[in-house]
Chains A and B, each alone.
Chain A
Amino acid sequence: MNQKKIMKHPIRKQALETLWRRELTVDERGRLEQHFAGDEGQRLFFEEEEALSRLLTGVADAPLSSNFTARVVAAARLEKRRSGRVDDDLGLAALLGRWRGYFHRSWTTPTMAAGLILVISITAFYQAKSYRRQQLAQTLATVTKATAMPEIEVLQDFDAIRHLGRVQMSQSTMEMDAALLAALQ
Chain B
Amino acid sequence: MGESRDNDAELMLRVKSGDLEAFEVLVDKYKQPVMNLIYRILPDAAEAEDLTQTVFVQVYKSASRYHVSAKFTTWLFTIARNLCFNEIRRRSRHPAQSFDALTEAHGEDSPRQFEDLGALGPQESALQTELEEKVDEVVRGLPETQRTALLLCCQNELSYEHISEVLGCSLSATKSLIHRARETLKQRLKPYLRSGAWIAKAS
> Which label, helix, strand, loop or mixed, suits the secondary structure of the A interface?
helix
Query: Interface readout for B11-43 with A: 1 if CB under 8 Å, 0 if not?
Result: 000000010100110011001100110111000
| Residues in A neighbouring B52, C-beta threshold 8 A | 64, 68
Size band of the A side of the interface? Answer: 20 to 34
Q: B79 in the interface, Cβ–Cβ < 8 Å?
A: no
Stretch from B69-77, B80-88, B193-201 forming part of the interface with A: B193-201
Q: Is the CB of A69 within 8 A of B114?
A: no
> Which label, helix, strand, loop or mixed, suits the secondary structure of the B interface?
helix
Stretch from A44-52, A115-123, A169-177 forming part of the interface with B: A44-52
Stretch from A29-37, A76-84, A93-101, A136-144 forming part of the interface with B: A76-84
Choose among B39, B57, B178 the residue that contacts A76 (Cβ–Cβ < 8 A): B57
Q: B5 in the interface, Cβ–Cβ < 8 Å?
A: no
Q: Quick one: closest A residue to B158, CB to CB?
A: A21
Q: B127 in the interface, Cβ–Cβ < 8 Å?
A: no
Q: Is the CB of A61 within 8 A of B153?
A: no
Q: Is the CB of A59 within 8 A of B132?
A: yes
Q: Is the CB of B198 within 8 A of A63?
A: no
Q: A59-B135, A59-B136, A79-B60 are in contact. Are A68 and B201 (CB under 8 A)?
A: no
Task: Give the shortest distance, in Å, between A41 (CB) and chain B (any CB).
Answer: 15
Choose among B61, B160, B198 the residue that contacts A79 (Cβ–Cβ < 8 A): B61
| Residues in B neighbouring A17, C-beta threshold 8 A | 160, 175
Pairs A–B under 8 Å by Cβ, sample size 27: A17-B160, A21-B157, A22-B157, A48-B186, A48-B193, A50-B202, A51-B198, A52-B185, A52-B186, A52-B198, A58-B202, A59-B132, A59-B135, A60-B115, A61-B35, A61-B36, A62-B36, A62-B40, A63-B49, A65-B49, A68-B49, A72-B27, A72-B53, A72-B57, A73-B27, A76-B56, A79-B61
